[in-house]
Amino acid sequence: MCRVYARFSRRHFHEQSIGKELKVLDRTTTDKPSPFLRISASRVLTMTRRQAHASPMPRARFASSDDVFQYLLGYVNVEKGQKTEFKLDRMLFLAALLGNPHTGRLTIHIAGSKGKGSVSTMCANILHAAGMRVGIYTSPHLLRWKERIAFAGKEMPESTLIRAMEEVLPFVEGRSADCFPGEELPTYFELTTLVAFCAFRAAGCNAQVIETGLGGRLDSTNIVDPDVAAITPIELEHTQFLGDSIAKIAFEKAGIIKSGKPVCIAIQKPEARIVFESKAEAMGSRLY
C-alpha cells in the first residue's frame, strides 16, 4: 500500500517545486482492507494544481477557539447525524500539504467502545509525570470544543489553537469539492483532528495520545503510526457504521494495529479477542 508524504512550500504550488520534494513510501501489509488508501504522486500533483488555481475566499478571522468551533460547524459533522463516506485519503492529502504534523513524536493510539477517554487521560498523565511534553486528543467535548485538544495536563492555549486553525485554513477555505480526493470536502472531525496535530507541533510536543473518534480502521486519526496501540472493551455501538456484531466492530477497531507495533487490549468478549489475536499475528505485533 502507499502512504504519501509531500513536503513543499505553502506559498508555491507549481508542479516543479512539488515534484522535487514529493516522497512516496511503499508499505506492504497483509491487512485487507488497509487503513491506508492508495494516492498516486500524479494525483497529488493534479489536485494541488487545482488548489493553486482556485479563487480563495477572504479568510475567516478567529478571535477565540469558540470562533474556530463555529467555523468548523460549517462542515459535515457526523456527530450531529450528518452523513459522509469514511475514507482516509482526504486526511492523508491534507496532512501531506501541512508537512505531516501527526509525525515526529511518540504516539499512543487508543480505540474501543468504552473507557477510551479514561485510558487516554491515564496514559497522558503517565507520560507527563515522566517529563514529556504531551498532547492529548479526545472526543467529543462536554462543554467547549477546546476540551478536545490538551497539552501538559491543561487545555491548549487559545493562541496556539487559533494559529493551528489558521495554518489549516488556506488549504480548505474557498476550495470546491473537486480539489480533494474523492471530490468531497473534508469533515468537521477531519479538520479538528488536523488542527490538533498542528497545535501539538506548534507546542513542541514530543509525545501524543490520540483517541479515535469512530471505529478505528477508517477513523480520521488513523493516519498516525503509533508506537503502541490500545483497545478498550468492545460493545455493540454505532452499528449503522461499524457493523451489527461484536466481531465486525472489533474488525474496525483492530485497524489501529500497525505492523510490528505492540498492542494492549482490555478483557474482551471471545468473539472480539479472536479478531484482535488474528490481526496482531498478521501484522507481526505483540499482543498484551
Q: What is the pLDDT of residues 172-202, one digit of tens each?
A: 998 999 999 989 999 999 999 999 999 999 9
106, three cell numbers: 511518540
CATH number of the domain encompassing residue 9: 3.40.1190.10
Sheet holding 106-111, edge to edge: 154-155, 149-151, 134-137, 207-211, 106-111, 228-231, 263-265
Q: Bridge partners of 25? A: 3
In a domain? residue 18: yes
Write out the residue range of the structural domain in which residue 175 sits. Answer: 2-283
φ, ψ of residue 149 in degrees (nearest 5): -125, 105
Burial of 244 (0-12, 13-18, 19+ CB in 10 A): exposed
- The per-residue pLDDT for range 108-124, each reduced to its tens digit, is 999 999 999 999 999 99
Say which residue, 60 or 220, is predicted with more confidence: 220
Say which residue, 57 or 48, is predicted with more confidence: 48
Predicted pLDDT of residue 43:
54
DSSP string, 20-45: HHEEEEE---S-SS-SS----HHHHH
- Rg, C-alpha atoms of the chain: 18
The residue among 28, 26, 54 whose CA lies nearest residue 39 is: 26
Predicted pLDDT of residue 3:
33
Peptide bond into 101 cis (omega under 30): no
In a domain? residue 88: yes
At 79, the pLDDT band (50, 70, 90 cuts) reads confident
Q: Bridge partners of 265? A: 231
Cα 241 to Cα 78, 232, 245, 255: the distances in Å are 11, 19, 11, 14
Average the pLDDT over 16-35 and give the result.
Answer: 35
Predicted pLDDT of residue 86:
83
Predicted pLDDT of residue 123:
97
CB atoms within 10 A of CB 73: 11
The residue among 269, 188, 202 whose CA lies nearest residue 231 is: 269
Predicted pLDDT of residue 83:
65
Predicted pLDDT of residue 14:
33
Q: Is the pLDDT of residue 41 over 60?
A: no
- The per-residue pLDDT for range 61-75, each reduced to its tens digit, is 799 999 999 999 999
Distance from C-alpha of 227 to C-alpha of 267, rounded to nearest angstrom:
21
CA angle 29, 32, 37 (to 5 degrees): 75
**Structural domain count of the chain:** 1
Q: For residues 4 and 26, is the Cβ–Cβ distance under 8 A?
A: no
Residue position matching grid coordinates 515526529: 104
Establish how many alpha carbons lie within 13 A of residue 188's alpha carbon, considering only the half-sphere containing its beta carbon.
22
Distance from C-alpha of 264 to C-alpha of 267, rounded to nearest angstrom:
10
Distance from C-alpha of 51 to C-alpha of 174, rounded to nearest angstrom:
9
Peptide bond into 33 cis (omega under 30): yes
In a domain? residue 228: yes
Q: Please indicate, yes or no, whether the overall pTM of this predicted structure exceeds 0.85.
A: no
Average pLDDT, the chain: 83
φ, ψ of residue 244 in degrees (nearest 5): -100, 20
Helix (H, G, I), strand (E, B) or coil at 124: helix
Ranges 44-53, 187-196, 208-217: which has the least confidence: 44-53
At 11, the pLDDT band (50, 70, 90 cuts) reads very low
Average the pLDDT over 9-15 and give the result.
Answer: 34
Predicted pLDDT of residue 76:
83
- The per-residue pLDDT for range 232-287, each reduced to its tens digit, is 999 999 888 899 999 999 999 999 999 999 999 999 999 999 999 999 999 999 99
In a domain? residue 288: no
Q: Is the pLDDT of residue 59 over 60?
A: no
